[in-house]
Structure 1
């Protein structure tokens, strides 16, 4: 079988991935809960109805597709049963950007290596863009000492409700992640995950196009990807999507701590899922991945990766990874995208690097 299944087939990410796969001559199967919505989203593509993650897992075991693309969040809830279902026959790929889910999937490295299959996590904008810059900066270099990565997406917003999948990803926090409390941030210190304040270490970045954004620390999947790519003992991940106002940053840790209370967490998840957004164009022409890498000898390199609209790139990256897996270019085990295919993967998806190098003063 050479089928490629896209789970959550009616969603925005799934539609973008399907379009990119078709452009590569690959005709995917859209998998979801609602037959009517699948038919409308698929526009002639084959579909498969599965009413739950458990039913989807059963179908994967039964039909053994070549590649399973998981777009169903929260990935902390969906990835584990789907990863198990993929073995021993199917490759697995997801769009996770939360530290817990990325960490858990990378923890399946031995199981996938033993089965001769590949699992790829973080195949969306955030992890892939920032990790790719770190890989590019570190090529041919010794182990780094310090890294900061910043993701700066430019995202067009569709009208509609946020939905439970994304709300769950935001609210469920960091279950099972070492190094701190469930609703604390994380960074690497001394080579280990350590607690940090949410939205800490803000900086104002002047992008290569001249626009200015503020980024602040967030415990995202790119934190682990950057550490693994560089070997650095001190790593921080940050995002322009983090709260920028000083007052909000000040109260955020206390507000987040309330989510440790089950009833508060459930209420917050329901309310957030019901939030309705209006359609808005992307705020900037480009999205950017950014990294600064320092080495023990005092050398320092800075790099940017310029891509287009973040959601469109989140269609291109999974599609290119799927194509390469189908062509036998993967390796057994569990990886983030640039760890598997190097910095050239981003360029194959339309990204452009801008690099600089200088000594620390």
Structure 2
């Protein structure tokens, strides 16, 4: 195993952001992708080396052969790509990081905890804005306290968009969030997408509406708090009555793996227009309630959510290469605690604890 960090999908927006953050930390980045010209252009913008891999199978074979220190997987859908990459990392003794943010993908990686611990390497899933921003607030609020009763998290990203295609990682995550769920009495239970809408006043005085959208932060918050009841919400959730009526039918169709894969591939090619980010900051938010009535609320303030998604895997990779991790499967704050978010540029804003 060497000290290089490989970024699979290195020509995509997330891959380029991660490579730039790795270079800023003085780490050796290798951008892995399928197009020579795009790899060369990305390397010129971010620094680092390139490796042409026409397919995921080729990339996995190269991981086994060259044994990089860390592999960052940005290629979605992660339920499809993660198993092959993780298997290659286990054979090579490499650490693994991905940007997954849907319940199925996080669950699948978490189920490999014992195997990773036995093999002596580390798997980190959910190393992007959504999971890290909300999980970190929950970890901060729950430090030193007994298991909570209830948790609500709210993800409020602010992201600028560059012109181009949506990409399979993003589309796969969004489709994965269409199956409504929450944690009730310690177990995943059905829930309506867009329900539990709430008008939040952000610490900067602006307002935003969030509503139920069960992405990966649902599981991360439950594991960080031990709470029996957890709801994850997002400002990106469809909360209009029409969308709430349509989504159950769409989510039922998406349970077909074949149809979901087809839809993901088609939508990933849809072109999006460039736009400025809608607000200055992105926010992670959590409210935690205990059985004795104590309530704690906190925020994590960051800048552009995409840039933060570049910083988190890079900082995780730096710490893994420095020997600061431990074998097994984790989400970012579960492995490195609440300080990880601050090391990536986040700032906590906590309210005074109260009671019901």
Distance in 2 of aligned mates of 1:266 and 1:33: 20
Equivalent residues of 2:294, 2:354 under 8 A apart:
yes
Distance in 2 of aligned mates of 1:62 and 1:264: 35
* TM-score under structure 2 length normalisation: 0.95
Q: Aligned pair in 2 of structure 1 residues 47, 260: CA closer, same or farther (>3 Å)?
A: same
Of 326, 341, 344, the residue aligned with 1:346 is 341
Of 80, 84, 97, the residue aligned with 2:83 is 80
Distance in 2 of aligned mates of 1:140 and 1:264: 45
String of CA shifts for 1:140-179, please: whole Å, max 9, x gaps: 11110000001000000111122344334433x37xxxxx
Corresponding residue for residue 357 of structure 1:
352
Distance in 2 of aligned mates of 1:299 and 1:266: 44
The answer as to 2:33 corresponding to 1:32 is yes
Corresponding residue for residue 184 of structure 1:
179
Corresponding residue for residue 232 of structure 1:
227
Q: How does 1:54-69 map to 2 (within 5 A)?
A: 54-69=57-72
Name the stretch that deviates more: 226-235 or 56-65: 56-65
The answer as to 2:290 corresponding to 1:295 is yes
Corresponding residue for residue 136 of structure 2:
132
Equivalent residues of 1:105, 1:334 under 8 A apart:
yes
The answer as to 2:264 corresponding to 1:275 is no
Secondary structure at 2:311 match in 1? helix
**1:261 CA displacement:** 5.9
**1:227 CA displacement:** 0.3
* TM-score under structure 1 length normalisation: 0.93
Distance in 2 of aligned mates of 1:275 and 1:257: 23
Ranges in structure 2 where 5+ consecutive residues have no aligned partner: none
Name the stretch that deviates more: 189-198 or 272-281: 272-281
Corresponding residue for residue 192 of structure 2:
197
String of CA shifts for 1:215-236, please: whole Å, max 9, x gaps: 1111211100000000000001
**1:262 CA displacement:** 7.1
Of 46, 52, 55, the residue aligned with 2:55 is 52
Distance in 2 of aligned mates of 1:126 and 1:279: 21
Corresponding residue for residue 143 of structure 1:
147
Equivalent residues of 1:76, 1:169 under 8 A apart:
no
Q: Aligned pair in 2 of structure 1 residues 211, 142: CA closer, same or farther (>3 Å)?
A: same
Of 121, 143, 160, the residue aligned with 2:125 is 121
Ranges in structure 1 where 5+ consecutive residues have no aligned partner: 175-182
Distance in 2 of aligned mates of 1:135 and 1:267: 37
Equivalent residues of 1:117, 1:331 under 8 A apart:
yes
Corresponding residue for residue 177 of structure 1:
none
Secondary structure at 1:256 match in 2? helix
- Stretches of 4+ aligned residues off by more than 4 angstroms: 260-267
Q: Aligned pair in 2 of structure 1 residues 24, 358: CA closer, same or farther (>3 Å)?
A: closer
Q: Would you say how many aligned residue pairs link Structure 1 and Structure 2?
A: 352
Equivalent residues of 1:144, 1:230 under 8 A apart:
yes
Secondary structure at 2:352 match in 1? strand
Equivalent residues of 2:75, 2:168 under 8 A apart:
no
Equivalent residues of 1:303, 1:353 under 8 A apart:
yes
Secondary structure at 1:100 match in 2? helix
The answer as to 2:198 corresponding to 1:155 is no
